[in-house]
Every structure is written in C-alpha cells, then in structure tokens.
C-alpha cells in the first residue's frame, strides 16, 4: 500500500487539492492499480528501444516537424474569444495572481 | 424517414421525398421526446442545425449538385470543438466553456453542408468505458435502459442506435469508439493514428487519441472517414493517406485470429457469435489462420501507464487562469489546487494521480519507460502478424453491455473493458467494430444485447477493413 505521504506528494506535483477522504481512497485505488502493473516485471526488455509514438515507425521518419518559430497572427475575433474565456481579465490582458511575494 | 443512413438521406433529398429542413426538424423533435430517457445529448443546437439545413435546401432548390453529407444530421461528441457552441467534455471544469473555433473535422463537415444537431455525452475527458463518469448524467443503452451504452463515446453511440441522428463523431483513445459501438449495435471506426486531424479535439492522451465516425452501416463510415481524413497543417502528426486501391476479392483474403483474444472469463455467447461471424467469411472463401500476438496480456497494463501519463501532462492546462472553472483564492498555488479539486471528477483525478506517479522521479524508468519498451514488443507482434494476414478479427469486448452501477465502484474492473481494444491505439493501427448479432433475443425482438466484431487492419487501410465490414453491416 502506498503511504499517505506519497499520495500527498503526488497530489502536490499534480496541483490537485485532495480532501482527507480522497487521500485514503487514492491510497487504496492507486495501490491496487500499481499491483496490476506487476505482471510487467516478467517481460524482458533488454535491448528493446521504446516506442514513444506510433507514427514514427510507419514512416521511418519523424513527423512532428516543427514549423518556423515565428508568431502567426490570429484573426481578431478569435483573440477576443480567447480573452473572453479567461475568468479574470483587464482589457486585453489575463490576470494572474502574484508569483512573487 | 425512419433509421435513415447517410446514403438514404442523400437519396431522399435528391428525389425530393423530404427536405433537409424537414429531416432536421424530425430529428430535433425526436431528441426532445426521446432523449430524456437516454441522455445521449448534453447540448442540442437547434438554431445552428435549422440554419444549416435551410442553406442546403436553398442549394437543392437552385439545382446545385450537393455533396453526399450535405443536409445530413450529425451528432458530435462533446470533446470536439464546434465554434460558438459549449464544449464541456462532460466536466465541471469546462461546464461553461464555449469553443472559440472549429475543430478541423468540423470545419470539413461544415464545408460539406453537414447539419449539426448537438453535442453528445461522454465520460469526463473521455476517461471511462460506460459514460457513467460524465459530470452531468449517465447515458443509457437504447437496447436496454438499465444498461450502459459503453464509453467514452457512449452518447454518440446511443444517439446513432436510438436513431436520434444519421451518424455521429466520437474519439477513441483505448476503445472509446469501438466499445460503445459494440454495446449499442452500430459501426464504429478508429482510424490509423494521424489519418484524421486532432486539431480541436480536447487533448487526452496525445499519442493515442483519434477522431472517428459512428454510423449505422460500414458504407456510411467510409463516407464520413473519407470526408474528415487528411493532412492538416494545424496537426503536425496528421498525414495524407496514400492508399487508394482497396479493392480485393474475398477469396484472396487471409484473416488472422489471435488465440490470445479468446480468453477465460469471456462471455461464451459472445465467443459463439464471433466464431459464427468468422465462419461466415470463411464460407465466402477467405482463408482463416490462427495467429499469435504473444504480448497481448501486457497491452492493458501498459495502456494504463502510458495513457494517464500523457493525460496528467495534457490536463495541466486546466489551471483556473486561462479558461474554465476558477476558484479564486489567496495565492496562485491555491487557485490551482482549488480550481482543479472542484472542477475534476473522481476518475479524472485518479488518472492524473496515476500518471503523475508514473512520471515522477524514481518511478519513471520502472513504469513509463518500461511501458514504452513493452509497447515496442506489441508493435513487433502486429508487424509479424501482418506479414502473414490482411486483417485480424477479434471480439470488440469480452462481454455485452453491463448494468449501470455494476463496475463504477471498482476502477480496475472498469479498466478491463478495454482489454481487446487498447493494443490497437498503442501501435496506431486502424480498427472497426461491426455489429454481428445479439446475445439473448434476436434483433427483431426487444431485450437482446448487441455483439461486436473488431476488424484490425494495416496502417491506412481503413477503406479495406470497412469494405470487409460490409459483409456484416452493409
């Protein structure tokens, strides 16, 4: 069973606020799911390369070709909608709580 | 005008049997009357649908030639963006979010004159196999209202099965199109990774997600797939499929049956119906060959490492600042903690936790990297199999639709629903679920539960596996 401290540490990394009851539940849930992964221990993967993405293999080349690092302007109305979606804003700026104290 | 396929609706318009507006009004009325029982829809877009239908009728009255999808009503899973319409992902965190732009597949459908009836229910962020993880309400299976429609595209599959639309779009990360298609007795295609642009699909697990059609027939699935597929500059992982010649003779086909997909604990009646479907194509002249995909048992464990890892990274964007639910609080960290605590449901939190754990220092090699290496072994299994056979047949699911509430309390038993479907996403292959029969009572009587056959193809051979599917669901 993974410890309460482990769950709290992971929750903090994930930026998830958890209630006390949730911490207990996740100790149990995560432990049983991690046990399920134990079957992988018997697979020998020495000399096996990882497959991070399915497509590279089919085309024998990387497909996530980067575009030029250049700002592409968006139509004004899309920009307006994106700003409108922000919960806290001032004119055309999105407000964020202070990062430094 | 009952249970119309895309081709029948198109024919009806051309022969002036009914107008696009009449058909659209019919579906909107049906949704109003019948969807209370099923809960397939989260949002119904009456105004959008009626205006799109009128435009198509105008083209018809002017004698213009219309594309086959013009005027045909479609339902869209609520994790795919339709400009100006709410896109909730069935999550409280996006409860009030309206899409600022169209997904590429929606842009393509709109250009072809599609009529969008509304947005359909799903498990929150497409995480689940029953649609019970929706933050709003679970969808019911139209074949038996006490059962789940499958998931996560349960709303789309139920809407097609209940004839609340002509066809629907879903998304599939580990079986989310095929398993609900199987439970609801309709056709569901997960295209090859990269065949359909993911631009405007709310990201879940980016190396696994694909958008695909849920339809009444295999022919309709071809029509929709061919309309939405193709390279898109806005999705750098999308590609142009070069395969155009998919004609074949059934007598030249070699079908592989992987022995690892007929397991202990699977419903014997499902197994029987799948074997009858295999005999059917064998009698038509195809060669049936037993094959082995020896690493099959590891597919589900590694799927449940890779998928939550990618999800935990993707869902970091819900921070209470850019869009979505925001719980204002004293400092920045507490905005994150509180917005995400209140906005995400149980299953989403569980997967974010699991993925964060698998990626965290000290566990990365043991879980994430190990899983990606086992993924290579699974890929090799399929490569070897496809050297010998043209397509692989398996059951889509080891069982038929289960009861609402049956698996919701036990995450691991719910995860086992993906046992036959997750492999295909890990290696990027195309696969379709086709309805092949009913467990219990026959289709003509109430109370039977649909059974699906999964047909897996080589990369970019969607049209071939759909051509084969026509044997079962023309």
Mean pLDDT of A21-49: 94
Residues with Cβ within 8 Å of B122's Cβ and at least 6 positions away in sequence, in order, are B77, B78, B79, B89, B90, B128, B131, B134, B151, B152, B153, B154, B155, B156, B176
Taking 90 as the threshold, does the pLDDT of residue A56 lie above it?
no
Residue B371 CA to residue B361 CA, distance in Å, equals 16
Closest chain B residue by Cα to residue A30: B354
Domain count, chain B: 1
Give residue A62's pLDDT: 55
Max CA distance (Å), chain A: 58
Give residue A54's pLDDT: 84
At A57, is the pLDDT very low, low, confident or very high (cuts 50, 70, 90)?
low
Taking 90 as the threshold, does the pLDDT of residue A67 lie above it?
no
Q: Flag if B239 and A33 touch (Cβ within 8 Å).
A: no
Residue B107 CA to residue B201 CA, distance in Å, equals 12
Look up the domain containing B228 and give its range.
1-235+247-474
Give residue B242's pLDDT: 72
pTM for the whole thing? Answer: 0.96
Residues of B in contact with A94 (CB under 8 A): 321-322
Residue B259 CA to residue B254 CA, distance in Å, equals 16
B131 with B139: CB under 8 angstroms? yes
Give residue B316's pLDDT: 97
Q: Tell me which residues of chain B have a pLDDT lower than 70.
A: 243-245, 442-446
Residue B111 CA to residue B9 CA, distance in Å, equals 18
Give residue B68's pLDDT: 98
At A1, is the pLDDT very low, low, confident or very high (cuts 50, 70, 90)?
confident
Q: Establish if B222 belongs to a structural domain.
A: yes
Q: Flag if B304 and A57 touch (Cβ within 8 Å).
A: no
Q: Establish if B242 belongs to a structural domain.
A: no
Give residue B31's pLDDT: 98
Residue B48 CA to residue B73 CA, distance in Å, equals 11
Closest Cβ opposite residue B356 in set A10, A36, A37: A10
Helix (H, G, I), strand (E, B) or coil at B469: helix
Looking from the CA of B150 toward its CB, the CA atoms found within 13 Å total 39
Kindly report the CATH number assigned to the domain that includes residue B294: 3.90.1300.10
* Phi and psi angles of residue B36, each rounded to the nearest 5 degrees, phi first: -60, -35
Element (H, E) at B220: helix B218-228
Give residue B240's pLDDT: 86
Q: Flag if A15 and B333 touch (Cβ within 8 Å).
A: yes
Closest CA to B205 of B229, B226, B184, B175: B175
Residues of B in contact with A17 (CB under 8 A): 334, 337-338, 340-341
Average pLDDT score over chain A = 88
Give me the DSSP letters along B35-84.
Answer: HHHH--EEEE-HHHHHHHHHHHHHHHHTT----TTTT-EEEEETTB--TT
Give me the DSSP letters along B123-163.
Answer: SGGG--SSSTT-SS----BTTBTTB---SSTHHHHHHHHTT
Helix (H, G, I), strand (E, B) or coil at B403: strand
Residue B195 CA to residue B212 CA, distance in Å, equals 10
- Tell me the catalytic residues of B: 77, 152, 176
pLDDT, tens digit, 9 for 90 and up, residues B213-244:
999 999 999 999 999 999 999 998 898 877 66
Closest chain A residue by Cα to residue B333: A15
Q: Flag if A54 and B207 touch (Cβ within 8 Å).
A: yes
Residue B290 CA to residue B281 CA, distance in Å, equals 15
Taking 60 as the threshold, does the pLDDT of residue A64 lie above it?
no
B204 with B177: CB under 8 angstroms? no
Kindly state the percentage of chain A with pLDDT values over 90: 63
Q: Flag if B332 and A66 touch (Cβ within 8 Å).
A: no
Taking 60 as the threshold, does the pLDDT of residue A61 lie above it?
no
CATH T-level fold of A1-40 = Histone, subunit A (1.10.20)
**Mutation target vs B (from A19, A22, A30, A50; most B CBs, 10 A cutoff):** A50
Residues with Cβ within 8 Å of A101's Cβ and at least 6 positions away in sequence, in order, are none
B231 with B239: CB under 8 angstroms? yes
Taking 80 as the threshold, does the pLDDT of residue A46 lie above it?
yes
Q: Establish if B240 belongs to a structural domain.
A: no
């Amino acid at each position: 069973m993974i410890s309460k401290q482990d769950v709290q540490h992971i929750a903090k990394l994930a930026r998830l606020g958890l209630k006390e009851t949730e911490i207990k539940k996740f100790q149990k849930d995560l432990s049983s799911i991690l046990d399920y992964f134990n079957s992988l221990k018997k697979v020998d993967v020495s000399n096996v390369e990882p497959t991070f993405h399915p497509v590279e293999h089919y085309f024998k080349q990387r497909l996530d070709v980067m575009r030029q690092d250049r700002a592409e302007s968006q139509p004004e109305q899309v920009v307006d909608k994106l700003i409108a979606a922000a919960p806290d804003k001032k004119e055309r700026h999105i407000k964020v709580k202070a990062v430094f104290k | 005008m009952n249970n119309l396929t895309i081709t029948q609706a198109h024919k009806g318009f051309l022969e002036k049997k009914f107008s696009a507006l009449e058909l659209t009004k019919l579906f909107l009325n049906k949704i109003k009357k019948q969807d209370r029982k099923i809960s397939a829809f989260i949002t119904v877009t009456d105004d959008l649908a009626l205006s799109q239908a009128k435009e198509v009728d105008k083209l018809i009255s002017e004698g213009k030639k219309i594309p086959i999808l013009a005027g045909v009503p479609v339902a869209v899973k609520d994790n795919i963006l339709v400009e100006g319409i709410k896109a909730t992902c069935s999550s409280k965190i996006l409860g009030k979010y309206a899409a600022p732009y169209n997904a590429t597949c929606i842009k393509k459908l709109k250009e072809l004159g599609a009529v969008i009836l509304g947005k359909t229910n799903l498990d929150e962020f497409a995480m689940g196999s029953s649609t019970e993880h929706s933050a709003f309400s679970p969808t019911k299976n139209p074949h038996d209202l006490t059962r789940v429609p499958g998931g996560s595209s349960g709303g789309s599959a139920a809407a097609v099965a209940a004839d609340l639309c002509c066809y629907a779009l879903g998304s599939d990360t580990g079986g989310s199109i095929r398993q609900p298609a199987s439970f609801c007795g309709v056709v569901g295609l997960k295209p090859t990774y990269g065949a359909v642009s993911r631009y405007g699909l709310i990201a879940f697990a980016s190396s696994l997600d694909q958008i695909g059609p849920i339809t009444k027939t295999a022919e309709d699935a071809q029509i929709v797939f061919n309309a939405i597929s193709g390279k898109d500059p806005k999705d750098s992982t999308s590609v142009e499929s070069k395969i155009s010649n998919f004609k074949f003779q059934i007598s030249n086909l070699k079908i592989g049956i992987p022995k690892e997909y007929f397991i202990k604990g699977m419903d014997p009646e499902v197994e029987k119906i799948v074997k009858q479907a295999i005999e059917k194509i064998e009698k038509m002249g195809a060669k049936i060959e037993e094959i082995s995909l020896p690493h099959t048992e590891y597919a589900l464990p590694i799927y449940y490492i890779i998928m939550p890892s990618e999800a935990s990274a993707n869902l970091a964007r819900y921070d209470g600042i850019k869009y979505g639910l925001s719980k204002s609080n004293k400092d920045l960290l507490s905005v994150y903690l509180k917005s995400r605590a209140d906005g995400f449901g149980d299953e989403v939190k569980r997967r974010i936790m699991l993925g964060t754990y698998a990626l965290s220092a000290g566990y990365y090699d043991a879980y994430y990297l190990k899983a990606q290496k086992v993924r290579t072994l699974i890929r090799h299994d399929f490569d070897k199999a496809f050297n010998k056979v043209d397509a692989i047949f398996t059951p889509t699911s080891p069982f038929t639709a289960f009861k609402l509430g049956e698996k919701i309390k036990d995450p691991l038993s719910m995860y086992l629903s993906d046992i036959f479907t997750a492999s295909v996403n890990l290696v990027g292959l195309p696969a379709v679920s086709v309805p092949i029969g009913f467990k219990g009572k026959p289709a003509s009587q109430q109370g039977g539960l649909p059974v699906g056959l999964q047909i897996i193809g080589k990369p970019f051979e969607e049209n071939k596996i759909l051509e084969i599917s026509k044997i079962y669901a023309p």
